[in-house]
Amino acid sequence: MKSEGSALERVEAIHKSGEIATINMVADELAGALGALENGKFIVSPIDTPIEEERRADIDQARDDSNFLGNETNECLESQLPEGKKDIKKISYTPKLRYFLDGSLRTKYLGDYIYIKDDDYYSTPILASEVATSVVRIEESSFGLERLERKLVLIFPHKESGLIPDTLFDKLEELNESWSKMSASGMKFEIKFLEKKSEEIRDIRYSMLGKARDVMHDLELDVARGVTRDKDRWLVMDGALRKSEFEQLTYTIGLAKSFSRKPRFKWGGRILDIVGYLSRLREGERSAVFKVGPKGEEGLCFWYIRLRERPPMEPLDGLVKVDYKCEGSELSLDEIELIDELSSEVYALRSPSVYPYPRWPSYIYPIRLAEEFMRPFFINPTLINMIGRRVAEMLRERGKGM
């Protein structure tokens, strides 16, 4: 795997890829939209290299929570399984997991747009989010990049929030329409609006970050749908998946390092909480398979695999949750055999270790590799900040800025 190289090599790569021209184009057209209003100002972020917005919530856990609403217990589909677990270390398998998909985003604060006219006052932060999704392909003993998609997304409040003027909203919609028909430097461009009204937004920057995560998740699903899969070539998607989305994907499993703490399991006539149940899993063991939603419906099944238990760690560390599309209300012997083989293959892919990367006990190597493929393609943070500075300069030149 290639390294990112020296700073000089990175600068040369930036010029070759046309990133500076791309950033200037984005800034010029954004300034045109913002400059459509008199008395508008853009106060640029004072930091040359904008700080990445803090992710104050575990998005994978929150996404998985949506599968476990209410107080329903999750029905076990393997009630006959001794002790509710199975050793899968030595189960033989024919490799089926060929594609590994992961998404990433970096969201930066560019500054605040302020508009004052008579008694009207509007103020909103502007965030730029780079969103990427990559798919790694395994062929025998080699890895390769199957697909990489990138977007640069600017996030604004909706006009119904009362945080931006209607005229500006209309101009931004026009700009978004023109951006939807183009791409540059292998990147697409979008403007996204929050859907909540102002009284429903407690922290606008945090809400914008949530919108960026939604964009990333949508991009992951779009890329997943474009991967050609069959019974011998499965896709592994990093992270928890919502039931409704997962049912659209065949020959696919979701693999979550972080997952909901809400499930309660019905097994052997007892109700078990997630920590108490999963703490019994030893390295190389999988849990029983459970159903999401009422028994008797097709849909989402899930189970857990203990990838590692050393060094000593918290009860749910070193575990992954596997999401799988059930074909019926009961598991056939063929499905149980498939689940065992998939579990054994996932366990084998924990090596080589990605230590000391954060959460390394719950990683499989191809997912970490997918993250590494995305890293060099993110735009230099200093260039991202050029968007805000160039917008501010252009508004000042027009006599409408600071």
Whole-structure pTM value: 0.87
Spatial separation of the C-alpha atoms in residues 390 and 269, rounded to whole Å: 66
Q: What is the structure's pLDDT at 4?
A: 40
Spatial separation of the C-alpha atoms in residues 160 and 236, rounded to whole Å: 39
- CB-based contacts of 40: which residues, under 8 Å, 6+ apart? 34, 113, 114, 115, 168, 395, 400, 401
What are the pLDDT digits (tens) for 343-378? 999 999 999 888 888 788 899 999 999 999 998 888
| Type of residue numbered 16 | K
pLDDT of 1 > 60? The answer is no
Q: What is the structure's pLDDT at 254?
A: 93
What does each C-alpha distance from 67 to 273, 311, 318 come to in angstroms? 16, 31, 22
What are the pLDDT digits (tens) for 212-230? 988 999 999 999 999 999 9
Which residue from 391, 379, 369, 311 is spatially nearest to 144, judged by alpha carbons? 369
For residue 68, what are its two tokens?
Answer: 């476990």
**What crossing angle do the helices spanning 19-34 and 7-17 adopt, rounded to 10°?**
60
What are the pLDDT digits (tens) for 82-138? 888 999 999 999 999 999 999 999 888 888 988 887 677 888 888 999 999 999 999
Q: How many CB atoms lie within 10 A of CB 197?
A: 13
Band of the pLDDT at 293, cuts 50, 70, 90?
low
pLDDT of 32 > 80? The answer is yes
Rg of the chain in Å (alpha carbons): 24
For residue 79, what are its two tokens?
Answer: 């009630």
Spatial separation of the C-alpha atoms in residues 384 and 377, rounded to whole Å: 13
Q: What is the structure's pLDDT at 401?
A: 43
Residue 227, classed as helix, strand or coil, is: coil
What are the pLDDT digits (tens) for 134-178? 999 998 778 899 999 999 999 998 888 888 888 889 999 999 998
pLDDT of 7 > 50? The answer is no
Spatial separation of the C-alpha atoms in residues 254 and 217, rounded to whole Å: 13
Beta bridge partners of 4: none
Range 204-211, long-range pairs (CB < 8 A, 24+ positions): 204/124, 204/125, 204/157, 204/163, 205/53, 205/109, 205/125, 205/127, 206/56, 208/53, 208/107, 208/125, 208/127, 208/155, 209/53, 209/55, 209/107, 209/127, 209/129, 211/155
- CB-based contacts of 246: which residues, under 8 Å, 6+ apart? 252, 254, 300, 323, 325
For residue 59, what are its two tokens?
Answer: 């998005």
Spatial separation of the C-alpha atoms in residues 239 and 258, rounded to whole Å: 7
